[in-house]
Structure formats: structure tokens, C-alpha cells
Chains A and B, each alone.
Chain A
């Protein structure tokens, strides 16, 4: 870790993160592979679908594998919930079962593209925030919705780059740019990032973090891909911090056009 990144902490709900790469845990070929990918990514935030967790069984293998990482924040998600009621019910249950009070709010009534329902997401967020949850909602790249969620008290917003699992990258780039400009809570680009360069671009735009799952889990060598994403995220972040030069349309003459103007 460089000194530079030590000074560049991401803070969500008072918790500090040095890594700006969050990982999803679905789609891995085994818990061992997932474990290695988490290690290689150096992530400090990992999301787990509650539908995959056996809440009746405290020794659930997925949860215990993640609990093995002491510096990782567990972020249970409500994937599968079709409306606010279902998401809220599942979040409460997870908290009762000892999964903590962080929740990645996913309300995705359409099982095909898993696109988030903005109305139900806002409804659920309002309820969960009031109940003391730290809520990170998965949303479409809608700047006004992002602001409404911020006002409702969510800890971050997680706009999608493109549909989950599509690996298409930042198809929503222009809207993400506006969200970053308008929001004062962290913006985490979630879903659709298919390669480290996509993650890099999101970070260059000024996203506070990215969440990646499919691209790593379904890579030929998931740990190697996790390491590649880590570098992509770091490169994008450093480029953003260093102040990217604006891309120009033409060459600039080296002799200034206004050099003849007097200073006074």
C-alpha cells in the first residue's frame, strides 16, 4: 500500500475502507475459488445474497468463509425481492440472525435483467434507514432517484453501469457522471463492469468505488482477474486524483495565442 492510498480513504457510514473494490460472491465455482479471489482483490467489502444463505444454519459455509476475513465488511443483499415488503422482511431477518445492520438493498422484480425497481427501492430504503440499517441501494443510473435516496438517508448509492452479468461496461456513463456530480454520499458503480478497464473508467470519472462479481467469478482464473480489477480500480482512482487532463479536439499551438496581451 502506498502512502498516497493511505491518505485516500473511502468512508461509508463512518467506516474506513482502503480498498475501493467491492466483491460479489455469486457465480463462483467453489468457495475455495471465491476465497482466493477475495484474497487477491484485497477487498474490504463483500456482498452475499441472503437467498443463498441458510439462515437456519449458523454454520452456513458461505458466511463462515467470509467471516474468516477479519477486515471485511459483510454486505448482505436482498436479491430476489420483488417489492419493498419482501426486501424489508429479508433485511430484518438477516439482522436478527446476526448478519449485522449493513444491507445492499436490491429490489429486482424482473428476474431476466434484474433491473431495480426505483419506487419500491425508495420505499424500502426509507423504512430500513429509520430502523437503523446502513443502506446501500442498487439503482438504475437515475440522478434524481440517487438524490431522493440520499435525502432518505442511505449511506451510498450503487448505480448500475449496465445490467447485471452483462459485462457491457459503462453504458450509463453520462448519467453516472451526473450522479457523481450531484451526490454528496459515496457513489459505487455496481453491475455490468466486464473488465478492469471498465472499472478504471468508472474510477476516473470520480466514482468512489465499484462492485464486481460476474467478470471475476466467471473468468478463467478468478484470482488473477480479481488482482487485475484491483489494479484497474487503483489506476482509475489515482488518475482521478491526479487531475485528468481534458481531452482536446485539436492540437494546441506551442506559441500562445494570447501571449501578446499585456498584464496590466
Chain B
């Protein structure tokens, strides 16, 4: 389990070492090759000393990305099944204490949403729920996957943490990817922003990618919600987690997302600022440390930033996203999880990619791999 590796690191010590790394430490780290990246060896990549070398990092990152993934960007779309939630994550629009209209889609409504996304061209989708087993039990989730499986090449899920057996049920129904963000690897910050409910259990969540890997998901997506704690330490922990997962579950692809906190209903003020340069820094470093990871950039980020940021290391982008259940085909006023910054349609985004010399890839998997 990753928790053993995680617990063996004293994050205060890591913080000190990140902040005391020198430029020559960074240069040494940059000169070492992939097979020599050790937990200690990667510390300088996250240091303030590395900040000055952003341009160099970007060149390295973009070169690796082009060689491994070519001039392509894979497109996907989220599909929210429910915004009902037991947790009160203070940064999230679905926070149980927020007064928003709560909706859980019926299987028929999920099919309508799926049809709408299919019509826009999507073949890769991500199904999401709030943290509520009651609103969307595992069996209903599996049922919904079964209903729409025939349309999509790849179905990922971003749901409350489940047991291995439950994840296996979703895989049997046709899901192939799991996304679960730790939100923050900083235990103190975690406790503050997740005061109640199942989600307040830090380790239950930390172990979830292990359970998903053991269940057999072919894609495992992780990330931290940037802004809850110091991004440099979050970055270090995320890299450690991703490196562990790709070694342990060697048949699965690891994906990393870079969600920066956005405005959501409620009055949460984010404790840490993460600038555009910081975000770019993280993307570049993840690419250098994990050459083959999928790196995901969502519509949380504004259009101008996305258009300029993706070529330095991103492989996967969402487009035309709605963060409320029913957002694509129903008129139900359900509350959203967060505000979308890049509101362009999938078509406009695919045209932008073409204009920049990239092939927008709608399908890069096949449901027939699974029996």
C-alpha cells in the first residue's frame, strides 16, 4: 500500500529540503535519468531554485511529450450523475451544507446525457457522483455503466472511495478507468477541509488507488486540489504516489490531473495561491518524472491559459464540460460542483487544437478489449 511509503516520509523534513535545495541540486537532478529518480532525487524539482529554470523544464517536458504521445490530444467529457453528498468539503459546491438544488439522475436521464455527449463526438467519458453511497449505490452505478457501455470506447469513474470488490463490479459492468484525487496530502489541511463524513478518513482515501489497481482498472488518475496546501509538497507527494502506482500496477496507466481550486457555492477562501507559473512548473516536472503518464487539464482553467499550456506536457483535455447532473440535456437547475472557466464547445476546442497543429483524438481505446 502507498500509505507505507507515504508514512515513511516526514513532510516537514521534505518541506525543508525543498526550500533549501540549491540551483546546483536542481541541475544535478535534471541531469539524472528516469531510472535513477529516487524519492530523494526528485526533491529539487519542486524547489524555488527550480523556478528560474521553468523555460528549460518546459522544453524538456514538451520534447518528452511529443516523442511519447505525438501531436495529439485526447478529449473526454465528465458526466455528473448526482450532486447529492454526505460530506462537507468546505471548498466544494456539493458540500452537504450548501443550499443547492440536489439531483440524482435516473438511469433514463443518464442515458439522455450520454446520448448528448455521444452526439458531440465524445467516446471517452468520466462518470461522477458526490460522496453519497445512498444517492448512487454501487449497484446503480454498475447498472448505469452497463446501459451506456455500448456507446463509449472508455468509461472512467470518479466516485466515493469503494472497496476492491465494488470497484471490480464497476469494471465488470464496463468501466476501465478510476479517478480519485487525494485533494491534499497534507494531513492537517485535510482534516480542516474535510471535517465530517466518510471523507474525513484520510487513509481510506489514500488507499483507494491501491484498491482500484488491485481491482484491475486500466487507468488510474490521481491528483491534489491545488490551493489547499503548499503546491510544492503536494507535487512531491503526487509524484511519489504516481511513481509507486506505476511500478505496482504496471499494467495500468497512471494519469495526473492538476485541478486548481475554483469558485464554488459557499464562502470558502483558498489558503494557498497557485499561480499560472506554478501550475506550468508542476506539469513540466510530472512529465519529466513520469514520461508516460497521462496529464490532464480540465475546463477549470481559462481558455487562453489552456491553449498555451497544453503543448508543454498535457495529453488529455476535457471540453464543453458541465459540472451539474443533467447539464447537457436536462433543464433542471441542479447545482454545479465548481465554475467552468473554459466554456467553449467541444467543436471549438477541437478546431483550436487543429489550428495549433494537434490532432484532437476522440477515440483512443476500444471497449472490445474487455470481454
Contacts and interface: CB of A to CB of B under 8 A. Distances in A.
B365 A51 contact: yes
Which of A51, A86, A109 is the most central at the interface, judged by chain B CB atoms within 10 Å of its CB?
Answer: A51
A30 interface: yes
A55 B68 CA distance: 25
Contacts of B368: 55, 89-90, 93
Interface residues of B, number: 30
A165 B218 CA distance: 21
Contacts of A52: 361, 363-364
Interface string A75-97: 00000111001100110010000
B251 A80 contact: no
Secondary structure type dominating chain A contacts: loop
A51 B153 contact: yes
B366 interface: yes
Interface stretch (B95-103, B226-234, B351-359): B351-359
Contacts of A28: 70-72, 359
A26 B371 contact: no
B365 A29 contact: no
A112 interface: yes
Give chain A's interface residue range (CB within 8 Å of chain B).
20 to 34
A113 interface: yes
B371 A89 contact: yes
A111 B359 CA distance: 21
A89 B251 contact: no
A167 B365 CA distance: 24
Contact of B252 (A53, A111, A113): A111
B354 A165 contact: no
Contact of A217 (B70, B218, B371): B70
A16 interface: no
Interface string B179-223: 000000000000000000000000000000000000000100000
A165 B366 contact: no
Interface in A206-259: 214, 217-218
A93 B366 CA distance: 11
B2 interface: no
A227 to B, nearest CB: 19
B70 A111 contact: no
B274 to A, nearest CB: 28
Interface string B249-262: 01111000000000
Contact of B369 (A26, A81, A214): A81
A90 B365 CA distance: 11
A112 B359 contact: no
Contact of A80 (B246, B291, B369): B369
A54 B124 CA distance: 12
Interface of A: 26-31, 50-55, 80-82, 85-86, 89-90, 93, 109-113, 165-167, 214, 217-218
Nearest 9 CB-CB pairs, A to B? A27-B70, A29-B71, A112-B292, A111-B253, A29-B357, A51-B366, A86-B369, A109-B251, A218-B66
11 contacts: A27-B70, A51-B365, A80-B366, A81-B369, A82-B218, A86-B369, A89-B368, A89-B371, A90-B366, A93-B368, A111-B292
